[in-house]
Structure 1
Amino acid sequence: MGQMVEFLFDFGSPASYLAYQRVPDLAGRTGARIVYLPMLLGGIFKATGNASPAAIPAKGRWMNADLARWARRDGIEFHRNPHFPINTLHLMRGATGLIDDPRFMAYCDAVFDAMWREPRNLGDPAELAPVIEAIGVEADEFRALVERDDVKARLKAATEGAVQRGVFGAPTFFVGNQMFFGQDRMDFVEEALIRPAA
């Protein structure tokens, strides 16, 4: 036990939200340490030729129903965001800039909740401001943070690094070199933690 799980996510992914809600229980059952790694899903799609399921109407309808089923099964409050899709570039830069800050997890909680629990248009700075100010990130601080060159470079490097590791969507998990895609594969993540591959 006590292994590490890398959790690669984007706030714009409803499956990432469901996984994010379930990850603490996974850690509690297995003793694993969760490493939260923001990446830009739009950059992943561009680099890999992948696209959002919402881009295919039939698949999008199915996915919405399936996500609702998973949320009900796991007791997670989940609502489709009427403003979807939302460009998450600034949101992911915010996560990247705060990753070593004590407010990082509170930021992730607040943004995921405002995206999928009590949906707001987080592409609108006026809608985002009260969400992040409630956890101690002032709007002016956030604007400066997401324009910092080092933050931009770190998110770009994280996204490119994910592609190099085979990532094509979100959420993606790594247990050592084993990759698992999707919130519906978390049983396999847990299995890998309990019975590590030889």
Structure 2
Amino acid sequence: MRDLTYYYSAHSAFAYLGSARVMQICAGHGLTLVHRPIPLSPVVEAQGSLPFRARTQAHVDYFFGREIERWAEYREVPVVPFRPTHHDADYTVASGMILALGDRGVQVDAMAHALLEAHWRDDADLSDTQMLGALATWLGHDAEALLAAAQTPDIAAQYAQNAQAALDAGIMGSPTYILEGEMFYGQDRLEMLERALTRPFAPTRWSNPPVQAT
């Protein structure tokens, strides 16, 4: 089976919008989804992009408004009609729960999707350990043990390694999918990704000069 490496944050709107679809593509094409949850803002900012707090109100309104609404309708995915109440809360423990289950397999897929869904469909606070424990129990896990595992130094180290791997790979945002070295940034590229599984795109001929500092 081929691997599809999946960089995303546990609170990402567009990771949520593409979550069910990417898992459907993997199931239909015999792909193994390899999870790489990351702390999104540090990765994006290290690549030189503006944090959302520094972007214009027009950009934020569009991103957290019409763009999400349209994609939610297109993907037939329910979303809250506002920016989640706790969107700026720390989602480190939530990410740790994914990592504590491994980097692939049905349990990891289910946990990742459930966290994204809880945040974007139910307005859940991903820093609330009581909520996280209830979600873990609902998925059939020992919530106390999983929460403890999610907060160990080993898991913190894995999370940091994922962030560094994302930087090294040139990841610009969440979600980003990498298939055999080919990057597909954004859930709106999933149809291109699926096509590449049966009919790969021609090698790039594009060449850009280095960006000069101003």
Distance in 2, Cα, partners of 1:135 & 1:183: 25
Q: Distance in 2 between matches of 1:51 and 1:146?
A: 29
Post-superposition Cα deviations, 1:95-148, rounded to whole Å, max 9, x if no partner, equal 111115763233223212211122211222233221222123344323321221
Q: Distance in 2 between matches of 1:97 and 1:122?
A: 16
Matched, 1:44 2:43: yes
**Structure-2 residue corresponding to 1:70:** 71
Q: Is 1:86 aligned to 2:85, yes or no?
A: no
Is 1:152–2:162 an aligned residue pair?
A: no
Would you say 1:26 and 2:25 are equivalent positions? yes
Coordinate RMSD, CA, aligned: 2.3
Q: Report the Cα offset of residue 52 of structure 1.
A: 4.6
The unaligned stretches of length 5 or more in structure 1 are none
Unaligned runs of 5+ residues in structure 2 are 204-214
Q: Cα–Cα, structure 1 residues 140 and 32, in superposed 2: closer, same or farther, change >3 Å?
A: closer
Deviates more, 1:152-161 or 1:24-33: 24-33
Letter in structure 2 aligned against 1:95: I
**Cα separation, 2, equivalents of 1:3 and 1:63:** 33
- C-alpha displacement at 1:53, in angstroms? 4.3
Partner of 1:59: 59
The corresponding residue for 2:113 is: 109
Instruction: Give the aligned residue type for 1:178.
Output: E
Q: How many residues were matched structurally?
A: 197
Alignment partners' CA distance in 2, 1:142 and 1:46: 30
Cα distance change on mapping 1:161 and 1:170 into 2, 3 Å: same
Q: Is the 8 A contact 1:78 1:116 kept in 2?
A: yes
Contact 1:9 1:37 survives alignment (8 Å): yes
Alignment of 1:9 with 2:8, yes or no, is: yes
The TM-score normalised by the length of structure 1 is 0.87
SS at match of 1:103: helix
| Deviation string, structure 1 residues 20-69 (Cα, Å, up to 9, x no partner) | 12112323454433222222213313422334546522111111211110
Residue 172 of structure 1 deviates from its aligned partner by 0.3
Q: Deviations over 1:171-198 (max 9, x none)?
A: 0011111111111111221222222246
Q: Output the amino acid matched with 2:171.
A: V
SS of the residue 1:115 aligns to: helix
* CA distance in 2 between partners of 1:144 and 1:29 (Å): 35
* Aligned 8 A contact 1:7 1:35 in 2: yes
Greater Cα offset, 136-145 or 3-12: 136-145
Shift of 1:16: 0.6
Q: 1:152 to 1:8 in 2, by over 3 A?
A: same
**Code of the aligned partner of 1:160:** Q
Stretch moving more, 177-186 or 24-33: 24-33
2:180 paired with 1:163: no
Distance of 2:51 and 2:28 partners within structure 1: 32
**Cα distance in structure 2, aligned partners of 1:147 and 1:30:** 34
Shift of 1:73: 1.1
Is contact 2:9-2:37 (8 Å) kept? yes
